[in-house]
Structure 1
Amino acid sequence: MEEAGGIETVPPLVKFRADFSRIFQHYLDRSAPLPLQRWLGTLVVALIYVWRIYSVQGFYVVSYGLGIYVLNLLIGFLSPKVDPEVEALESLDGALPTKTSDEFRPFVRRLPEFKFWYAITKAFIIAFIMTLFSVLDVPVFWPILLIYWVVLFVLTMKRQILHMIKYKYVPFDLGKKKYKGSKRSEGSSSSKSRD
């Protein structure tokens, strides 16, 4: 792809793809510190998808596949990066601290929140696009799929909750203590600056 002057030309499709990728990554990076806005956007996308399914009264197999995928993402989001069962088998003394003198190890997710959000949003968009193709509207008795998904969800979450109880970890930081610097040290530094 060289011209006579030795200057390399880039095909327009490759240039468009690179520009689009760069712009998309820019906006994705800007959305990272805004979790509430990101999740509200995903909620809007999910509601549009639900409205589409309700209005066409079909694509239940696509919705079932989407539900299984979202369940898999949820399990990854709730699971620790290093599984205590596997780590306990590899080490002799166990992985999690059992005494107060043991080292504190914070909960690190297998699937971080941002990647969880991105994967769910992308899944809803892809599922919506799939509803535009009538060949994917397989006739099926949807209550059976719904019952099967609910049973799968309950059994999977039961197993996950028992795992959380057994290894004593909580994947959320709601209600956990947050330590801040003492006010006494801040007050003493401000009184020193007045002297």
Structure 2
Amino acid sequence: MEGVEGDTASPVAPLAKWRNEFSRAFQYYLDKSTPLPVHRWLGTLAVAAVYILRVYYLRGFYIISYGLGIYTLNLLIGFLSPKVDPELEGLDGASLPTKGSDEFRPFIRRVPEFKFWYAITKAFIVAFCLTFLSVLDVPVFWPILLCYWIVLFVLTMKHQIMHMIKYKYVPFNIGKQTYGGKESPGSSRRH
């Protein structure tokens, strides 16, 4: 009875092995892409362009596109929001500085850039795959969906910008900050 289990090869084992190898290879290339944000986003733009062209030529799947737009808007809000929201959490020291005399705390996003990129890319790929299912091509009047999405986007961004102004944070780094004032010794002024 001891050799009975070892004699029969399970058909699940090769599938699990292939899945494990694929997962490792995928993670390897994902890790290699981490320090290359421009290349990653260009790839995502290419995937988005392929999806948009497919929807345009099929003249359908507007419900999928609307769902994709809502999901992308939700990710964008997470990308622009701080990890610790001062409105939701009590002002307990882990919040954003609100006065000039407060200690500097770096802006930490609720959804980091890499996860934002990965989720959007995955969403476009899934939406592209869903365009091959004809049952999801629901006939709708797409201008209504577009207008509703634009109104939703404007109202959401207005709320987010007001939140940024209220708690005085900017979710973007634009180079190293330089401060005016004293010049370093050894530098000469040109008149």
Same fold (TM over 0.5): yes
Structure 1 residues 1-195: aligned runs within 5 Å? 2-3=5-6, 11-87=13-89, 89-91=90-92, 95-174=95-174, 177=177
In structure 2, the CA distance between the partners of 1:15 and 1:3, relative to structure 1 (3 Å rule), is: same
* Aligned-partner SS, 1:83: coil
Task: Give the 3 Å change call, closer, same or farther, for CA 159–19 of structure 1 in structure 2.
Answer: same
Runs (4+) of structure 1 exceeding 2 A deviation are 93-102
- Structure 1 pair 102/75, CA: closer, same or farther in 2 (3 Å)? same
Per the TM alignment, residue 116 of structure 1 is displaced from its structure 2 partner at its CA by 0.2
| 1:131-159 C-alpha deviation (Å, 9 max, x unpaired) | 01101100000000000000000000000
- Give the letter for the 1:114 counterpart: F
Structure 2 unmatched runs, 5+: 186-191
Q: How far apart are 1:56 and its partner, in Å?
A: 0.3
1:176 CA displacement: 5.4
AA matched with 1:34: L
Which one has a larger percent helix, Structure 1 or Structure 2? Answer: 1
Letter in 2 for 1:156: T
Q: CA deviation at 1:63?
A: 0.2
Q: Does the 8 Å contact 1:3/1:9 carry over to 2?
A: no
TM-score by length of structure 2 reads: 0.85
CA–CA separation in structure 1 for the residues paired with 2:171 and 2:32: 25
User: What TM-score, normalized by structure 1, do the two folds share?
Assistant: 0.83
CA contact (8 A) 2:62 2:137 kept: yes
Letter in 1 for 2:39: Q
SS of match in other structure, 1:86: coil
Residue 104 (structure 1) shift: 1.1
How much does 1:174 deviate? 1.6
Structure 1 pair 145/38, CA: closer, same or farther in 2 (3 Å)? Answer: same
Cα deviation for residue 86 of structure 1 reads: 2.5
Q: What is the RMSD of the two structures over their aligned residues, measured on CA atoms?
A: 2.6
Q: Is the 8 A contact 1:2 1:9 kept in 2?
A: no
Does structure 2 conserve the Cα–Cα contact (< 8 Å) formed by 1:49 and 1:124?
Answer: yes
Cα distance in 2, alignment partners of residues 126 and 101 from structure 1? 47
Contact 1:66 1:124 in 2 (8 A): yes
Q: Distance in 2 between matches of 1:95 and 1:117?
A: 26
| Matched residue SS, 2:79 | helix
Q: CA deviation at 1:105?
A: 0.6
Q: Percent of aligned pairs with the same residue?
A: 69
Unaligned runs of 5+ in 1: 185-195
